[in-house]
Chains A and B, each alone.
Chain A
Amino acid sequence: MILRVMQLTILFTDQAIRIANVSPGERAGALLEFQGIVRGIEDGATIGGLLYEIYQPMAERMIRRIAEELSAEHPCHGFHIVHRHGLVPTGEAAIYVRIEASHRSEAIRMLELFMNRLKAEVPIWKSGTVPC
């Protein structure tokens, strides 16, 4: 029996997210990428950006656990996440997720469920807004 382990990378950065041109593995039939973008309007007011705060050691632990739990039900080959902290200007990505899987259904379901759990459980906050 061959046990295939999902490749998992978690990165927190205060810099703009740079998306590398990554080639999917030979088993991947689906490569799904998601970016969460800072909108220009928050609570009805125009903003210049959002401030993000992360409790990094706990966030990393929880993201790892959530991704591994979800992959048990929706098997994926690779799960890669970058989340920014500090100031994220309007129009830029605060979060980037890339998922590789044999089929699109696992990747799409994995992304949806992961984002729901991140938003409910992981210690990351929008801690303020920046004016234009």
Chain B
Amino acid sequence: MKRILTVDDSASVRQMVCFTLQKAGYEVAEAVDGKDGVDKVGIGKFDLIITDLNMPNMDGIQLITAVRKLPGYSFVPILMLTTESQAEKKDAGRKAGATGWIVKPFNADQLVAAVQKLVK
């Protein structure tokens, strides 16, 4: 079973990501902020990461930068799930190594379709 990590300081968003992806047959782990996310990536193997941008302790861009440096994570897909929709923010995400961008609220079917495409 493919493993996915959802990183968000909002419990309800994490729950919705978990609910959506578990229903689609994925195993989903949660992290409450960027730092927690990097820690979890360090001790487990994930096939895809979905992260928020604005979080306490460590934001999404910093998380991506840190994760990309970890062995085996250079090409693991990372999706940004954020309320931000500004082009410069997206550009920063892309430069940091994000694979895709989703503006909250996400559409469950489309998230599952994208995840299926990326972890195939």
Do chains A and B stick together as partners?
Answer: no
